[in-house]
């Protein structure tokens, strides 16, 4: 699946989640949700190291996926072409670190 297609689907899901609520999908809301997801991911990563009895591999996987999904939604809301931007970033990093 291409990033644009994924972003469109993620947007539809976000709109469905907010349906009937007194809020719309905005960059501010998406950024708040992204911050929340990163916090949850950090907490689960902490558990992996410091509190292994509370660590959940499933929660870690879900946290990573939720963070990526929310990042894709935020990019869509900001009209960022992720395919293009990621390609440029990878090219830049390859040059910087002399990776062929």
Angle formed at CA 44 by CA 73 and CA 13, multiple of 5 degrees? 25
Q: What is the pLDDT along the chain (100 residues), one digit of tens a residue?
A: 788 899 999 999 999 999 989 889 999 999 999 999 999 999 999 999 999 999 999 999 999 999 999 999 999 999 999 999 999 999 999 999 999 8
pLDDT at 2: 86
The CATH label, of 3.20.20.70, 3.40.50.1860, 2.40.30.10, 1.10.287.1080, for the domain at 3-96 is 1.10.287.1080
Domain ranges of the chain: 3-96
**CA-wise closest residue to 68 among 84, 54, 82:** 82
Phi-psi region of 39 (alpha: psi -120 to 50; beta: other; left: phi over 0): alpha
CB 46 within 8 A of CB 52: no
pLDDT at 1: 78
pLDDT at 98: 97
pLDDT at 41: 97
Q: How many whole angstroms separate alpha carbon 18 and alpha carbon 15?
A: 5
């Amino acid at each position: 699946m291409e990033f644009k297609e994924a972003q469109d689907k993620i947007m539809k899901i976000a709109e469905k989640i907010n349906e009937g609520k007194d809020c719309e999908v905005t960059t501010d809301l998406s950024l708040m949700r992204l911050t929340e997801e990163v916090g949850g991911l950090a907490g689960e990563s902490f558990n992996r190291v410091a509190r292994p009895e509370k660590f959940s591999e499933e929660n870690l996987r879900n946290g990573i996926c939720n963070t990526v999904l929310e990042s894709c939604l935020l990019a869509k809301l900001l009209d960022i072409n992720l395919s293009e931007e990621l390609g440029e970033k990878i090219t830049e990093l390859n040059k910087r670190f002399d990776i062929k």
